[in-house]
Amino acid sequence: MTDKTSRRNFLASSFAAGAAVTVARGAQAATPDPLITQVQPWAQGFGEGVDATPYGLPIRFEDDVIRRNVEWLTADTISSVNFTPIHALDGTITPQGCAFERHHSGAIELKKEDYRLMINGLVDTPLVFTYADLERFPRENHVYFCECAANTGMEWAGAQLNGAQFTHGMIHNMEYTGVPLRTLLEEAGLNTAGDLKDKWIFVEGADASSNGRSIPMEKALDDCLIAFKANGEALRKEHGYPVRLVVPGWEGNMWIKWIRRIEVTDTPVESREETSKYTDTMEDGSSRKWTWAMDAKSVVTSPSPQAPITHGSGPLVISGLAWSGRGAITRVEVSKDGGMTWETARLAKPGEKMALTRFYLDTDWDGSEMMLQSRAMDDTGYIQPTKAQLREVRGLNSIYHNNCIQTWLVRSNGEAENVEVS
Amino acid sequence: MTDKTSRRNFLASSFAAGAAVTVARGAQAATPDPLITQVQPWAQGFGEGVDATPYGLPIRFEDDVIRRNVEWLTADTISSVNFTPIHALDGTITPQGCAFERHHSGAIELKKEDYRLMINGLVDTPLVFTYADLERFPRENHVYFCECAANTGMEWAGAQLNGAQFTHGMIHNMEYTGVPLRTLLEEAGLNTAGDLKDKWIFVEGADASSNGRSIPMEKALDDCLIAFKANGEALRKEHGYPVRLVVPGWEGNMWIKWIRRIEVTDTPVESREETSKYTDTMEDGSSRKWTWAMDAKSVVTSPSPQAPITHGSGPLVISGLAWSGRGAITRVEVSKDGGMTWETARLAKPGEKMALTRFYLDTDWDGSEMMLQSRAMDDTGYIQPTKAQLREVRGLNSIYHNNCIQTWLVRSNGEAENVEVS
C-alpha cells in the first residue's frame, strides 16, 4: 500500500491545480457566479416533508443510474440479464435496486407464508423448513460479491460492448444475512450419512426453470449461506425473495434464487445448467466443466466509456473494482500505456474474502491519450491475465469465465472506448 | 466472543426442536402440505423479465417495512423526523430507501451542476468547489452510523413509544464515499493560518434552515468526510444530495446536508442549533452543551413490540444493534430478567469504529415472560447505563442523548411491550 506517499504526491500536484481553479474563478470576477453571490431558490422555501417518501428512490437527476439490458443479446427478457451501472457507482456495496438480475424463466413472486425448503436424499431425516423455521437458527452476516459466469463473456471475440456496465456489470456485492447451509444439513442428520468428502448436494429453485446445480459437499459445508436479507432488508423479488442460496466466490448461476430443495447425493446430477450451459468450450470442442470459482479480476469503472473525463488535464481520480472468488485481493495495479508500465493503486480497504475491493489511483493527467488497464492479484498469488494469455489457454469458443485485463482507450478529449490491445 | 461454544449449545437444543418440527409434519401426513406435494403456480409459468424494474423497489409483501413518522410529534412534516424500520432489518447496512430523515425545512432538490461549496474565513485562499472539483480529490470509503441526538428522546419521561422503530429508529448506517474534509481545508491553506488547536469551523447547508453548526478543528481534521455517495450510489435527496458532511460518531444534526459553506473561525458561533437546540437541559435548568459524541448504546430489535415471537417456545434468535460514537463495540450483553442476570451476545463481526454492530443471542425460550434488555460496551471501557443511572445524572428535562438500556416486556404469547423497569 502506497497510501500515504501517493496521497502526498497527489496533493503536491493538486495544490497547484486547486490554485488554478481559484485563479480561474478570480479571473471571472467581472461576472460573479450567481450561485455564490445570490440567495438560491432552494434556500427561499421549504423542501419535501418526512412523509413524502416512506420508501425512497434515487433523486430524478440520477435516473440514468439504472440496470440496463442489451436488447439483441437474448430472445426474451424473461430468460435474460440486465447489468449493474458500475460505471456510476463508488465504494463497494451495491444497492439492491440497481444490482444486476439474471433469470432463466423470470422473477417470480413467492410469499414468505408459501415458502418451503426441503432437504432430502442421503440424510438421516428429510426435513421441510418454513420461512419461520429458518429464522430460528443462528444467523451470520457476510459481504460477498455475486458474479455471473458470463460476465465479460462478449469480450472473448474482441472489444464488443462500449461501457463497464455492459462488459463487467453482471456483478453485485451485498451484505447477506442468513443461516449457514452447514447448520441445516447437520439438522437433517448428515453426520451419520457416511463419508462426506465424496458427497454432493443438488440444489434447485422454485421458479419454472428450477435451475438445478450440483455442489460438492466440501463447499456446501464450508461457507454457503441460506440467505434471507441483503444489505439489511429482505431480498428483492428479482434476487430470490424470500430465500436464496449464497455460494461465496462461485459463479452466480449456483446462487439458487427462491431455493426450494437441497438433495444430498453421492454423484453430481450433470444437469442442463452444468453440461450444455456453464461449461467452457475449448479450442478442440471439448468442454471444461466444474469451473465454479470466479478467478481474480478487475476493471476500471471511471474513467470508462460511460464515465468520460469532463474536466480536462490535471488531477484525476482513476477508480475501479477488483475481486477474487478464491480469496482476498492483495494488490491492484493500473497501467496507462496498455500494460507496458504499471503503478500500484490504493485499496480503499484491505481486501476481504470473496468481496469487492475498491481501488483508486490518484494521478495527474497530462491530457495525452491513455490505454487504461487494471490487473488484480489475490492472496493465492494469482495474477489477472491479459486477453492474449487467456485466449492462448482457452481459445475463442468460450462464453464463461473471462477474467482478462480490460483496456479502455481514453482520448485527449476525455472520451473513452473499449479497445483491444494487440 | 463465545461464538463457537454458544453455537454448539444452541444446536444441541435446536436438534431436538428441529426434530419436533419434523415429527409435527410427519403427524400431518394425513393432510399433506400442498406446497410440498403439488407443483406450485409460480413454477408453472414465467416471472417478470429483466426490463421490468430498471431501478427496483422491495417486493409488495414487504410494504410495511418503511420509514414512518409520528404525526403528533411535530407541527409540520417539513420540520420533522421519520424513523428507520430497524425492527424489520438485519445485518448492519441500512438501505437509503428506508434510512430515517430529519429535516428542519424539508428536503430540497439541488442539481450537481448547481452545487457549490465555499471554504472561507481564516484560510490563506478562500475557495469555491464545484461538484466536479470535489471528484478530483482522493476519496475514502467508510461505514459509519448517523444517529439523531434526539433518538430515544421520548423515553426520558418513561416508556412512551411502542416499537424499536420509534424508540431507536433515528439511526442509519451506510458506506460513505467522499473526500476527507482535511484535504479541502488544507487546499484552502489552513496550514499557515496559525495555531489550529483553538480554531473551529462553522458549517451550513443550502436549505432554508441552513442548520449552522460549529465543529472544533481537531474533529474537522480527524475523520470528517465531504461525502457524495452512500452505499455505493449517489446520496438520496433526503440525505443531502449531492453532498453532505459526515461527522463520524457525532450527533446527526452536525452531518450538514446539502453542505454549502465551511467557515474557519477562532470561536464557535453559538448558533440556534447549538444553544436553544441540541443542548441538554439539566435538573437545575442549566444547559449541558457541546455534547457531540453519541455514547455507547444498544437495543434489541427482535423480539420487540413490532416484531413479536410468533413461533412459541424453543429455539429463539434474539437480535439487536449496538454502536458507540467514541469507538468500537467490544461486547454486548443481553438480560431476560430486567438486568438481574446477563448473557454475553455473539457479535456478527468484531465491532468497527463508529459503525453499527449486529449482535445475536441464540437461545432456547421456555415460553415464560421475559424482561429483555441489552447493554453495550465500547473500547473506551464505557458501559451503557440504566435509565435510573442516566436520570440520576441528567434529570428528566432532556430531549437529547438518551442512551439508556431499553426494556421490552415479552409476554408468554410472544407479544412485546415497551416498559419501565423500576
B224 and B318: one domain? no
Q: How is chain B split among helix, strand and coil, in percent rounded to 5?
A: 25, 30, 45
Residue A106 C-alpha from the chain's centroid: 20
Q: Does pLDDT of B192 surpass 60? A: no
Is A358 inside a domain boundary? yes
B276 and B303: one domain? no
**How many structural domains are present in chain B?**
2
A377 and A257: one domain? no
Q: What is the mean pLDDT of residues B89-103?
A: 98
Among B226, B253, B285, identify where a domain stops. B285
The CATH number covering residue A242 comes to 3.90.420.10
Evaluate if pTM is beyond 0.90.
Answer: yes
> Quick one: what percent of chain B has pLDDT higher than 70?
91
User: Residue A120, SS3?
Assistant: strand
B positions 43-102 inside 8 Å of A (CB): 43-59, 61-63, 65-69, 76-78, 80-82, 88-98, 101-102
User: Which mean pLDDT values do the consecutive 10-residue runs of chain A (422 residues) have?
Assistant: 38 39 41 84 95 97 97 92 98 98 96 97 94 97 98 91 97 98 94 72 97 97 98 98 98 98 95 92 91 98 98 97 98 98 98 98 98 98 96 92 98 97 78
Contact B206 A319 (CB under 8 A): no
Q: What is the mean pLDDT of residues B200-227?
A: 97
Give me the phi and psi of A217, to 5 degrees please: -60, -35
Query: Do A167 and A152 touch, CB atoms closer than 8 A?
Result: yes
Please, where are the H alpha helices in B261-377? none
The Cβ-side half-sphere exposure at A276, using a 13 Å CA radius, reads 4
The Cβ-side half-sphere exposure at A258, using a 13 Å CA radius, reads 25
H/E stretch holding A141 = strand A140-147
Contact A106 B49 (CB under 8 A): yes
With an 8 Å Cβ cutoff, is B26 touching chain A? no
B322 and B238: one domain? no
- Measured between beta carbons, the chain A residues lying within 8 angstroms of B109 are 42, 47, 59, 61
Q: Does pLDDT of B384 surpass 90? A: yes
Q: Does pLDDT of B21 surpass 50? A: no
Q: Does pLDDT of B11 surpass 60? A: no
Comparing CB atoms, the residue among A45, A69, A141 nearest residue B50 is A69
Is B405 inside a domain boundary? yes
Q: Does pLDDT of B247 surpass 60? A: yes
Which residues, including other chains, have CB under 8 Å from residue A194's CB and lie 6 or more apart?
A122
B280 and B302: one domain? no
Give me the phi and psi of A132, to 5 degrees please: -65, -35
Contact B258 A42 (CB under 8 A): yes
CA pair distance A252, A48, nearest whole angstrom: 40
The CATH number covering residue A365 comes to 2.60.40.650
At residue B322 the predicted structure's pLDDT band, cuts being 50, 70 and 90, is: very high
- Predicted confidence at residue A21, as pLDDT, reads 41
Joined grid coordinates for residue A123: 440424510
Other CB atoms closer than 10 Å to residue A44's CB: what's the count? 8
Taken as a whole, chain A contains a residue count of: 422
Q: Does pLDDT of B385 surpass 70? A: yes
Other CB atoms closer than 10 Å to residue B63's CB: what's the count? 11
Owner of C-alpha cell 471528484: B135
Contact A57 B128 (CB under 8 A): no
- Predicted confidence at residue B412, as pLDDT, reads 98
B119 and B248: one domain? yes
Interface ipTM > 0.95: no
- Predicted confidence at residue A291, as pLDDT, reads 94
H/E stretch holding B4 = helix B3-27
CA pair distance A315, A361, nearest whole angstrom: 10
* Domain membership of residue B318 as a residue range: 297-418
A106 and A236: one domain? yes
- Predicted confidence at residue B169, as pLDDT, reads 98
- Predicted confidence at residue B190, as pLDDT, reads 83
CA pair distance B149, B295, nearest whole angstrom: 10
A170 and A304: one domain? no
CA pair distance A254, A84, nearest whole angstrom: 19
Is B94 inside a domain boundary? yes
- Predicted confidence at residue B8, as pLDDT, reads 36
Among B254, B285, B316, identify where a domain stops. B285
The shortest C-alpha distance from B152 to chain A (Å) reads 18
B315 and B193: one domain? no
Contact A317 B139 (CB under 8 A): yes
A247 and A365: one domain? no
Among A267, A288, A309, identify where a domain stops. A288
Longest pairwise C-alpha distance within chain B: 85
Joined grid coordinates for residue A28: 471571472
Q: If phi over 0 gives left and psi between -120 and 50 gives alpha, with beta otherwise, what is residue A81? A: beta
- Predicted confidence at residue A174, as pLDDT, reads 98
A124 and A217: one domain? yes
Comparing CB atoms, the residue among A49, A103, A132 nearest residue B106 is A49
With an 8 Å Cβ cutoff, is B32 touching chain A? no
Which residues, including other chains, have CB under 8 Å from residue B288's CB and lie 6 or more apart?
B279, B280, B281, B282, B394
Longest pairwise C-alpha distance within chain A: 85
- Predicted confidence at residue A190, as pLDDT, reads 83
CA pair distance A219, A215, nearest whole angstrom: 7
Q: If phi over 0 gives left and psi between -120 and 50 gives alpha, with beta otherwise, what is residue B158? A: left
Is B341 inside a domain boundary? yes
Is B19 inside a domain boundary? no
Is B46 inside a domain boundary? no
Contact A349 B35 (CB under 8 A): no
- Predicted confidence at residue A194, as pLDDT, reads 59
In tens, the pLDDT along B274-318 reads: 998 999 999 999 999 999 999 999 999 999 999 999 999 999 999
At residue B226 the predicted structure's pLDDT band, cuts being 50, 70 and 90, is: very high
- Predicted confidence at residue A99, as pLDDT, reads 98
Q: What is the secondary structure of B50-83 as a DSSP string?
A: TTS-SS----GGGTT-S-EE-TTT-S-GGG-BEE
Q: If phi over 0 gives left and psi between -120 and 50 gives alpha, with beta otherwise, what is residue B347? A: beta
Is A244 inside a domain boundary? yes
A positions 269-308 inside 8 Å of B (CB): none
CA pair distance B168, A388, nearest whole angstrom: 56
- Predicted confidence at residue A196, as pLDDT, reads 76
With an 8 Å Cβ cutoff, is B204 touching chain A? no
- Predicted confidence at residue B194, as pLDDT, reads 59
CA pair distance B138, A119, nearest whole angstrom: 50
- Predicted confidence at residue A157, as pLDDT, reads 87
Which residue out of A211, A233, A349, A362 would a mutagenesis test of the B interface target, given it has the greatest number of B Cβ atoms within 10 Å? A233
B128 and B272: one domain? yes
User: Residue B302, SS3?
Assistant: strand
Starting at the edge strand found earlier in the chain, the sheet holding A407-410 runs A343-344, A329-335, A370-378, A407-410, A416-418
Q: Does pLDDT of B129 surpass 60? A: yes
Is B11 inside a domain boundary? no
